[in-house]
Amino acid sequence: MAKQRSSRKHRKAAEQEVENDDEVTVAAEKEEDGEPAAASHDDEEADGAVEEDVEREEGAGGGEEEATDAATGGGEEGKEEEEREVRFDELGLDEQLKRALRKKGLDKATPIQREAIPLILEGKDVVAKAKTGSGKTFAYLLPMLHELLKLSSEGRIRKSAPNAFILVPTRELCQQVHNEAASLLEFCTSKLRVVQVNASMSDKDIKVALSGPPNILVTTPACVAACISKGIIRGSSIKESLSMMILDEADLLLSYRCEDDLKALVPHIPRSCQSILMSATSSADIEKLTKLLLHNPFILTLTEVGHAKEDVVPKNVQQFWIPCDAKDKMLYILALLKLELIQKKVLIFVNSIDSAFKLRLFLEKFGIRSSVLNAELPQNSRLHIIQAFNARLFDYLIATDDNKSKVEMQANKGNKKDSKVSRKQLQQTLDAEFGVVRGIDFKNVFTVVNYDMPPDPAGYVHRVGRTGRANKTGASISLVSPEENDIFEDIENMLKDVEKGDTRCISPFPLLTKNAVESLRYRAQDVARSVTTRDIKEARRQDIKNEILNSEKLKAHFEENPRDLDLLKHDKLLSNKEIPAHLRDVPEYLIDPTTKEASNAVKLSRAAMGIDKPRRRKRMGFKGGSGKTSDPLKTFSAEGKSRRRGRNERDGEQDRRKRKKVEG
Ligand SMILES: Nc1ncnc2c1ncn2[C@@H]1O[C@H](COP(=O)(O)OP(=O)(O)OP(=O)(O)O)[C@@H](O)[C@H]1O
């Protein structure tokens, strides 16, 4: 497949040779158009090209296989090579980048990096699909920087507009990708400049950022479209300068209503521009975008590289579920956190901002501090909350999903007329470019809790993908109410389909007994009742107020002191009432011996993994190094040692059947 394609670099060279001669350029393009594999933004032609790829992907052996064979030389030899670990040094990258990677302590390429980097270096358009946390950012940043460093050393950088666009769906991602690129360039002697601009910036600030212009622009499709329509970036300059365009988290771009913005950009993209599309999940949107923006691309799917069965959710993430009534969810989460049955740091997903604050207030009454991340907060605060959580200044973060589904869900309620009003109102209060789940590289999150189930299986994959990043260990726990049974089944079916297995991928959570839950029921119910709608409204208002006040202070402060994290305590108490001792500490008599054992096992494993502070490790009897101990989630059974996993799974199944019957 790869061999059939004309290399973009050759076309680029040809274009450069004829660029001053319009007549010849037109002739050259016409000639190209006649080629079977020619690039074109014309829909019909693009359709044909993509269909060819899809067919190949679906044909015997699948496109992934072909993609991998082409990348590695093909056949059995190729497969052996796929399994070999590849060091960055072997990928033909610029010396400056190799040095930067060494300084960052990165040595071996991840599978997506190993496969995508050579293809991108060859100048091909690539659609790459690989699971969350698999290192997709460096998979495109490294070859992109390599190419720009090369152009720069040869004095061929064009300076009327940025040479590369990286388009991402959210502002949080703009910042994150910008930081990743800047951290690599920091170690390069050639001075390439990367900037990020987003819709929250004033036109003046955007103009200042884009003056020069920078070599790489990280932004959202909406922002780049606005820059073009306002004349901040001229379309003709893009045509002259742009040599690479990346669409990261491409599976999400269209759901952030970026289609029109991307369409507005298409006419300005030069034919020679190499385009790369990265995504964690497959969807019809990916195909749509591919047709819109890419030229006869190479499809690289890393879920099945080399025939190896690999999971859409990283293998290193253990997935669990707990069946419970919707009204008992606060009780269950209290039991998990208060009885220390799950490892910190914990990211808890809820489906609405009110639920997030209700949960925060509820947990706060038991002395468990958390912070809420949501679309209402100013952008600075959101960035700082993520930064503080990553720096382990607090352990529990409650996050609302991306606002799209919320806007949709809430706007669809009620009649049509009302829905228009509420959609407008919602969009005024919520930041349309907010997306906490998708693509954010939360550092060292051990447990992801689905307090509310996500609206669809792709949402589940993205949420759970916030743990187990870069091959670290992680766990996810989904609290599933009977009303959420259908979506839970959809998720399980999707996991089974993708992984082509028959076994269930999500096991019942083994460490929480009914006794443990019941021991906290009355306290939990009392406290839950005491959190009123008014409290929630007030807490929400107070939080925004605090964050807005902080936001400007934080911005100024961090410009001067980028490493100072003291101001970032986002888990401050919302209520000023003292927490009663009987709620802060669970009395010993309430904790049954099995739960105590489970909790100790979790603590022990935490200490052994080196997650705890040194003093605690010492207190628990560990000396130096990060020792290893067996994982309580694998070895412990709340029901006794002899009846472990099988029993639990059976119970889960029975439980579910029972509930189905009740529903039926
Ligand atoms: N070769 C490598 N070796 C070790 N760690 C790596 C390597 N490449 C990337 N990482 C780290 O892995 C983590 C996840 O990378 P990244 O954010 O690029 O994943 P992703 O595939 O884009 O995930 P998502 O789909 O969720 O956005 C980051 O913390 C990154 O620094």
Question: Is residue 281 lining ligand 1, measured as CB closer than 6 Å?
Answer: no
Place of tokens 């030899």: 77
- Distance, CA 448 to ligand 1 centroid (Å)? 18
73 band by pLDDT with thresholds 50, 70 and 90: very low
Report pLDDT digits (tens) over 192-232: 999 999 887 889 999 999 998 999 999 999 999 999 999 99
Tell which one of 110, 178, 248 to mutate to probe ligand 1, the residue whose CB is within 8 A of the most ligand atoms: 110
Average pLDDT over residues 219-247: 93
Tell which one of 132, 168, 173, 441 to mutate to probe ligand 1, the residue whose CB is within 8 A of the most ligand atoms: 441
Average pLDDT over residues 317-323: 94
Higher pLDDT: 423 or 124? It is 124
Please state at what angle helix 22-34 crosses helix 8-18, rounded to 10 degrees. Answer: 160
3-state secondary structure of 279: strand
Question: Is residue 109 lining ligand 1, measured as CB closer than 6 Å?
Answer: yes
Average pLDDT over residues 548-577: 61
CATH for 314-401+436-602? Answer: 3.40.50.300
* pLDDT computed for residue 498 by the predictor: 66
588 band by pLDDT with thresholds 50, 70 and 90: confident
Beta strands in 102-230 (DSSP E): 126-129, 164-167, 194-196, 216-219
CA atoms within 13 A on the CB side of 628: 2
* pLDDT computed for residue 501 by the predictor: 62
Question: Is residue 106 lining ligand 1, measured as CB closer than 6 Å?
Answer: yes
Higher pLDDT: 561 or 459? It is 459
Residue span(s) of the chain under CATH 3.40.50.300 come to: 85-302, 314-401+436-602
Say if residue 384's pLDDT is above 90. Answer: no
Tell which one of 88, 117, 132, 138 to mutate to probe ligand 1, the residue whose CB is within 8 A of the most ligand atoms: 138
291: Cβ–Cβ under 8 A, 6 or more apart, which residues? 43, 46, 47, 50
Question: Is residue 314 lining ligand 1, measured as CB closer than 6 Å?
Answer: no
* 3-state DSSP of 530-573: HCCHHHHHHHHHHHHHHHHHHHHHHHHHHHHCCCCCHHHCCCCC
User: Which two tokens mark 328?
Assistant: 């008992």
Atom nearest to 106 CA in ligand 1: 3
Cα gap 158→153, rounded to integer Å: 12
Say if residue 2's pLDDT is above 70. Answer: no
Place of tokens 């888990």: 571
- Distance, CA 382 to ligand 1 centroid (Å)? 21
* pLDDT computed for residue 199 by the predictor: 82
- Neighbouring-strand partners of residue 385: none
Question: Is residue 601 lining ligand 1, measured as CB closer than 6 Å?
Answer: no
**Number of C-beta neighbours around residue 401 at 10 A:** 24
- Distance, CA 44 to ligand 1 centroid (Å)? 36
Cα gap 659→643, rounded to integer Å: 23
Question: Is residue 136 lining ligand 1, measured as CB closer than 6 Å?
Answer: yes
Place of tokens 């004309």: 6
Average pLDDT over residues 388-404: 81
Say if residue 267's pLDDT is above 50. Answer: yes
* pLDDT computed for residue 590 by the predictor: 72
Place of tokens 């388009």: 167
Say if residue 63's pLDDT is above 70. Answer: no
Nearest CA to ligand 1 atom 7: 135
Burial of residue 316, with CB atoms counted within 10 A of its CB: 0-12 exposed, 13-18 middle, 19 or more buried: middle
Give the full edge-to-edge strand order of the sheet including 164-167.
194-196, 216-219, 164-167, 244-247, 274-279, 126-129, 298-301
* pLDDT computed for residue 232 by the predictor: 93
* pLDDT computed for residue 425 by the predictor: 40
Nearest CA to ligand 1 atom 23: 133
DSSP 309: -
Tell which one of 97, 114, 134 to mutate to probe ligand 1, the residue whose CB is within 8 A of the most ligand atoms: 134
Cα gap 168→437, rounded to integer Å: 13
Say if residue 28's pLDDT is above 60. Answer: no
Nearest CA to ligand 1 atom 9: 135
Q: Are 181 and 137 in contact (CB under 8 A)?
A: no
Atom nearest to 279 CA in ligand 1: 25
* pLDDT computed for residue 408 by the predictor: 42
Q: Are 319 and 505 in contact (CB under 8 A)?
A: yes
Q: Are 124 and 2 in contact (CB under 8 A)?
A: yes
Say if residue 183's pLDDT is above 90. Answer: yes
Question: Is residue 461 lining ligand 1, measured as CB closer than 6 Å?
Answer: no
Atom nearest to 180 CA in ligand 1: 31
Q: Are 300 and 64 in contact (CB under 8 A)?
A: yes
Nearest CA to ligand 1 atom 14: 133
555 band by pLDDT with thresholds 50, 70 and 90: low
Which of the listed CATH numbers 1.10.10.60, 1.20.1440.230, 3.40.228.10, 3.40.50.300 matches domain 85-302? 3.40.50.300
- Neighbouring-strand partners of residue 87: 108
Nearest CA to ligand 1 atom 10: 135
Average pLDDT of the chain?
Answer: 74
- Distance, CA 439 to ligand 1 centroid (Å)? 10
Question: Is residue 138 lining ligand 1, measured as CB closer than 6 Å?
Answer: yes
pTM: 0.66
Higher pLDDT: 400 or 504? It is 400
Q: Are 397 and 345 in contact (CB under 8 A)?
A: yes
CA atoms within 13 A on the CB side of 32: 24
Average pLDDT over residues 612-641: 52
Beta strands in 463-615 (DSSP E): 474-480, 507-508
3-state secondary structure of 236: helix
Question: Is residue 470 lining ligand 1, measured as CB closer than 6 Å?
Answer: yes
Question: Is residue 132 lining ligand 1, measured as CB closer than 6 Å?
Answer: yes
Higher pLDDT: 589 or 532? It is 532
Higher pLDDT: 655 or 326? It is 326
- Distance, CA 104 to ligand 1 centroid (Å)? 13
Question: Is residue 137 lining ligand 1, measured as CB closer than 6 Å?
Answer: yes
Say if residue 133's pLDDT is above 50. Answer: yes
Average pLDDT over residues 546-569: 61
Say if residue 287's pLDDT is above 60. Answer: yes
Atom nearest to 465 CA in ligand 1: 26
C-alpha pair distances (Å), 101 with each of 104, 106, 166, 185, 469: 5, 5, 20, 10, 18
Question: Is residue 441 lining ligand 1, measured as CB closer than 6 Å?
Answer: yes
Burial of residue 384, with CB atoms counted within 10 A of its CB: 0-12 exposed, 13-18 middle, 19 or more buried: buried
Question: Is residue 465 lining ligand 1, measured as CB closer than 6 Å?
Answer: yes
Say if residue 65's pLDDT is above 50. Answer: no
* pLDDT computed for residue 650 by the predictor: 44
629: Cβ–Cβ under 8 A, 6 or more apart, which residues? 604, 605, 608, 609
- Neighbouring-strand partners of residue 318: 475
591 band by pLDDT with thresholds 50, 70 and 90: confident
180 band by pLDDT with thresholds 50, 70 and 90: very high
* pLDDT computed for residue 190 by the predictor: 79
* pLDDT computed for residue 56 by the predictor: 28
556 band by pLDDT with thresholds 50, 70 and 90: low
Interface confidence (ipTM) of the complex: 0.98
CA 166 remoteness from chain centre: 16
Which stretch of 78-92, 216-230, 272-286 has the lowest confidence by average pLDDT?
78-92
Over the Cα atoms of the chain, what is R_g? Answer: 26
Say if residue 32's pLDDT is above 90. Answer: no
380 band by pLDDT with thresholds 50, 70 and 90: confident
Looking at mean pLDDT, say which of 71-80, 87-96, 560-569, 580-589 comes out highest: 87-96
